[in-house]
With several copies, the nearest count.
Chain A
Amino acid sequence: MTATNLADIEYVVRTIAQTAVDKEKEFGDFDAVVGDGDLGYSLARGFEKVLADWDSYKREDVSTFLQQIAVTITSRIGGSSGPLWGTAFLRASVTAKQFNEITGTAAVAMLRAATDGIKARGNSDLGDKTLLDALVPATDELERMITSGANAADCREAFAKSTRERAEATSELEAKRGRASYSGERSIGSPDAGALAVAIIIERIVAGWPER
């Protein structure tokens, strides 16, 4: 595994963290529509800590790095997001061990591990109107593009576009998990807060990739 790989992962994590901090208000407002409005606050407080501890993380390899991020997130993010995002990072970290290099294929495997972890932790699945409904189909799309031999930039663009589309499409679903689920049918008509947040984060990662 190369240092360049780690730099890419660092870029990705750093962008996630910075976006969560920058968009605290916006993510909170998404969650207020049918949820309880704390998503922005919870993510910001956790990822703020990630940024604060940034220099202290060990950087032996991608897996070790991600595992420490998982610990910070799990211990510092409240609400549903702490356990869910923490599990996602932990599973991605474990999966990263299988790869010498973080290729597109590795990224897909790590994303799958992450979403499988969220499903297990959240006792949830596709159709429950969660971030899974954006991230899982977008991962499928990313895999399809890679398999089809598309160039890296196109793959990234397709991934971001798909996440955004699927996040918006959660509007049609009825929430079955999280605080939003108590809104029942009334959750239909507005997109899931977690899914939108993930879409915005991924768009930022992709947009900044060339200058990372």
Chain B
Amino acid sequence: MKKFVNNPQQFVPEMLEGLALANPDTLKYVPEYNLIMRADGPDQNKVSIVQGSGSGHEPAHVMIVGKGMLDAACPGDVFAAPPFDYVHETTKLMASPKGVLLLVNNYTGDKMVFEMAQEMSAAEGVNVKTLFINDDVSVEDSTYTIGRRGVAGNFFVIKAVAAAAERGADLDEVIRVGEKVNSVTRTMGVALTACTPPAKGSPLFELGEDEIELGVGIHGEPGRRRAKIMPANDIVEELLTPIVKDLPFSDGDRVALMVNGLGGTPISELYLLYGQAHKRLAEQGITVGRSYVGEYCTSLDMAGASITLVRLDDEIESLLNDPAEIPIRVF
């Protein structure tokens, strides 16, 4: 394994320490609970928005804490839901009179731990609710499974609920907004290579020299099927078709289109994918109203990408358009 890492067990804490050092005015790092929170938080006049998840998806979610986005992020170790204590303490710390919303991607471990923390904190008098995000169309939703995963589409839910909270909405209204955005958001991803968790030191799965994994998850979980490498335009088709069919998106829809890099793919390739997706949607009468190209929710160093569509209406578009200040500074 060749990575910038000292002791793999200190990988997440050292990253978080760097993040806090780079953003001394805006972020606070609480090492005991891996917690990254706004330096001026919690704001007593708004609902606190907290996202929990495993690490390894950066910039999600520790790097999108800031005014107009998350009030705190509560990460576990790489690909592992945070332990109960971390979530519980974070929830109590972020408690504001208007309440706390815990945003969680829909995975077994995360679901259990956040539900436990929510119950426990609520019993202790905190006004706290959880919202599960499940935008991944590559997983068949069925009563036999825990259901769809939350992947890169969670950014849209975060942005919208954060904007609503910033505008002063109460907890129930914030949840209504979040559920609404989640219900019109669909994502599918593809891996060109496997990722290597620092503590494991070797790739999480094997992909042949000419193989790709369609429908891959953001933890290196296998996807729908393996395929041979194909031209970029065909890959766009493989991702876009199930997404469009699923909601379904249709002629006349106005959408946000995100092409998200999984960590090892350069942004040049992401824009190439974006161009084709944009044109294919236009051919189906679907207009891109807002575009997002870059890394939002990654899977360590995995080469690959995901495409997300969100069906816009005036309310959602206006919320997405609100200002936000986060550490991913460009200039």
Chain A residues packing against B (C-beta within 8 Å): 28-29, 32, 34-38, 41-42, 45-46, 74-84, 86, 121-123, 176-184, 186
With an 8 A cutoff between CB atoms, is B331 at the interface? no
Residues of B within 8 A of A183 (CB): 221-222
CB distance from A45 to the nearest CB of B (A): 7
Q: Could you tell me if B83 and A36 are in contact, using CB atoms closer than 8 angstroms?
A: no
Tell me the interface secondary structure of chain B in the complex: loop
CB distance from A11 to the nearest CB of B (A): 26
Pick the contact of A34: B9, B82, B222 (CB < 8 A).
B222
CB distance from A165 to the nearest CB of B (A): 25
CB-CB nearest in chain B for A35: B221
Q: Select the residue from B80, B144, B219 with max chain A CB neighbours within 10 A.
A: B80
Contact (A36, B108) CB under 8 Å given A74-B84, A78-B54: no
Tell me the interface secondary structure of chain A in the complex: helix
Q: Could you tell me if B221 and A80 are in contact, using CB atoms closer than 8 angstroms?
A: no
Q: Could you tell me if B79 and A182 are in contact, using CB atoms closer than 8 angstroms?
A: no
Q: Could you tell me if B85 and A83 are in contact, using CB atoms closer than 8 angstroms?
A: no
With an 8 A cutoff between CB atoms, is B261 at the interface? no
Binds A, one of B163-171, B198-206, B282-290: B198-206
- Give complex CA distance A31, B13 in Å: 23
- Give complex CA distance A176, B147 in Å: 10
With an 8 A cutoff between CB atoms, is B255 at the interface? no
Q: Could you tell me if A75 and B222 are in contact, using CB atoms closer than 8 angstroms?
A: no
Residues of A within 8 A of B144 (CB): 176
With an 8 A cutoff between CB atoms, is B220 at the interface? yes
Q: Could you tell me if A82 and B83 are in contact, using CB atoms closer than 8 angstroms?
A: yes
- Give complex CA distance A179, B106 in Å: 10
Q: How would residues 202 to 231 of chain B score, 1 for a CB under 8 Å from any chain A CB and 0 otherwise?
A: 001100000000000101111100000000
Q: Could you tell me if B200 and A37 are in contact, using CB atoms closer than 8 angstroms?
A: yes
With an 8 A cutoff between CB atoms, is B7 at the interface? no
Q: Could you tell me if B112 and A37 are in contact, using CB atoms closer than 8 angstroms?
A: no
CB-CB nearest in chain B for A32: B204
For this complex, 7 residue pairs linking A to B, each with C-beta atoms less than 8 Å apart, are A36-B217, A75-B88, A77-B83, A78-B77, A78-B82, A83-B116, A182-B221
Residues of B within 8 A of A34 (CB): 221-222
8 Å CB interface, B274-321 against A: none
Q: Could you tell me if B221 and A38 are in contact, using CB atoms closer than 8 angstroms?
A: no
CB-CB nearest in chain B for A76: B83
CB-CB nearest in chain B for A48: B9
Residues of A within 8 A of B83 (CB): 46, 74-78, 82
Q: Could you tell me if A83 and B113 are in contact, using CB atoms closer than 8 angstroms?
A: yes
Q: Could you tell me if A79 and B199 are in contact, using CB atoms closer than 8 angstroms?
A: no
Q: Could you tell me if B77 and A178 are in contact, using CB atoms closer than 8 angstroms?
A: no
- Give complex CA distance A83, B115 in Å: 10
With an 8 A cutoff between CB atoms, is B162 at the interface? no
With an 8 A cutoff between CB atoms, is B81 at the interface? yes
Pick the contact of A179: B78, B82, B200, B219 (CB < 8 A).
B219
CB-CB nearest in chain A for B115: A83
Q: How would residues 78 to 118 of chain B score, 1 for a CB under 8 Å from any chain A CB and 0 otherwise?
A: 11111111001000000000000000000111001100100
- Give complex CA distance A123, B113 in Å: 13
CB distance from A88 to the nearest CB of B (A): 13
Q: Could you tell me if A42 and B77 are in contact, using CB atoms closer than 8 angstroms?
A: yes
Q: Select the residue from A28, A29, A36, A76 with max chain B CB neighbours within 10 A.
A: A36
Q: Could you tell me if A79 and B81 are in contact, using CB atoms closer than 8 angstroms?
A: yes
With an 8 A cutoff between CB atoms, is B122 at the interface? no
Q: Could you tell me if A182 and B109 are in contact, using CB atoms closer than 8 angstroms?
A: no
CB-CB nearest in chain A for B224: A184
Pick the contact of B217: A42, A74, A78, A179 (CB < 8 A).
A179
Pick the contact of B79: A36, A46, A121 (CB < 8 A).
A36
CB distance from A2 to the nearest CB of B (A): 33
Residues of B within 8 A of A83 (CB): 84, 109, 112-113, 116
CB distance from A26 to the nearest CB of B (A): 11
- Give complex CA distance A38, B78 in Å: 8
Residues of B within 8 A of A79 (CB): 54, 76, 79-81, 109
Q: Select the residue from A29, A37, A84, A86 with max chain B CB neighbours within 10 A.
A: A37
- Give complex CA distance A29, B221 in Å: 13
